[in-house]
Amino acid sequence: MTFPEFSTLAQMTRALVLGGLYANWARGAFEAPRFDGDAGLVLLGQALLIYIGLTIGLGIVVQVLSIIIAVARGEESRPGDLDERDLAIERRATVKGFTIVGMGFMGMTLALWYGWGAIAAIHVLFGGFVLADVVVNLAKFVSYWRQRG
Amino acid sequence: MKGQITNTIRRLRFDAGEMTQKDLAEKVGVSRQTIVAIEAGKYAPSLELAFQIAEAFGVPLQDVFHFTRKD
């Protein structure tokens, strides 16, 4: 397993865990009265910032751990060793991610149109970003899996 | 026009003194997994990489990669 493959597996796991936590929290957000009104918007903003911080922080931790494990195991490639296949896989996955983000934006506009309210609409938009994170890493993992010898 | 690209890299490696996939990968500057994927027909290399592979074996490009048209 090359470093890009190992790193993709680790980041996919990170994305699935955080995405699941966000989905669970967002589900509760629709049901709890404390999420209504301006106070609800403040709470939502705080929660989203925490999620973004966790994504960046955990992403860095996962990457560092991947590098340490790769070096310890004497992996065939090193961080930064991306050949044309790795770049092609990354490009295709990124396109899928942008598509999901676009769908999230359209979903947000539809939610506002149907009178869902600001908090719900923001959840739809942000949910697109969360889903894109999962989809990008999952798409890369599937590409690597399919191209195994 | 649809088609399929096949290759004879495995045979060429064997003919080149049983060159390993890793050796070939190092010669052309890609990972061993990329060579594995190309040999298995699961990844189509760029034109540049295809030429580099042919050059590594010292044969013309058409001796390495073949295009078969599917109707």
What is the tens place of the pLDDT at every residue in A130-140? Answer: 999 999 999 99
Residue of B22, B39, B43 lying closest to A85 (CB–CB)? B43
| Residue A50 burial (C-beta neighbours within 10 Å; 0-12, 13-18, 19+) | exposed
Residue whose pair of structure tokens reads 């295009």 in the numeric block: B67
Residues A85, B22: C-beta atoms closer than 8 Å: no
Q: Which residue stretches of chain B have pLDDT < 50? A: none
Dump strand ranges (E) for B1-71: 2-7, 65-70
pTM metric for this prediction: 0.83
| pLDDT value, residue A36 | 65
Say which residues have a Cβ less than 8 Å from residue A4's Cβ, sequence separation at least 6.
Answer: A77, A81, A82, A86, A144
Lowest mean pLDDT among A24-33, A51-60, A78-87: A24-33
Residues whose CB is less than 8 angstroms from the CB of residue A138 and which lie 6 or more positions away in sequence, other chains included: A12, A15, A16
**A146 touches B at CB < 8 Å:** yes
Among left, alpha and beta (phi > 0; psi -120 to 50; other), residue A28 is: alpha
B27 touches chain A (CB under 8 A): no
**With an 8 Å Cβ cutoff, is A148 touching chain B?**
yes
Are residues B5 and B67 in contact, defined by beta-carbon separation less than 8 angstroms? yes
The pLDDT assigned to A89 comes to 94
Which phi-psi region, left, alpha or beta, contains residue B58 (left: φ > 0; alpha: ψ -120 to 50)? Answer: left
- Identity of the residue numbered B14: F
Is A149–B39 a contact, with Cβ atoms under 8 angstroms apart? yes
Is residue A5 within 8 Å of residue A78, measured between CB atoms? no
What is the ipTM score, two decimals?
A: 0.87
User: Which residue matches tokens 């296949």?
Assistant: A85
Closest CA–CA distance from residue A83 to any residue of chain B (Å): 5
pLDDT of res. A7: 85
Q: What is the helix (H) or strand (E) element at residue B39, kind and residue range?
A: helix B32-39
Chain B: give the shortest CA distance to residue A133, in Å.
Answer: 25
- How many residues does this entry show for chain B? 71
Tokens, residue A62: 């996962």
Who among A5, A88, A146 is closest to B33 (CB)? A5
Which residues of A fall within a CB distance of 8 Å from B45? 84
Q: How far off is chain B from A113, nearest CA to CA, in Å?
A: 44
Q: Looking at the partner chain, which of A1, A84, A148 has a beta carbon nearest the beta carbon of B49? A: A84
Residue A101 confidence (pLDDT) above 90: yes
- Tokens representing residue B1 in the block: 């026009």
Contact B53, B45 (CB under 8 A): yes
Count CB neighbours of A102 within 10 A.
12
Q: Is A2 an interface residue toward B (CB < 8 Å)?
A: yes
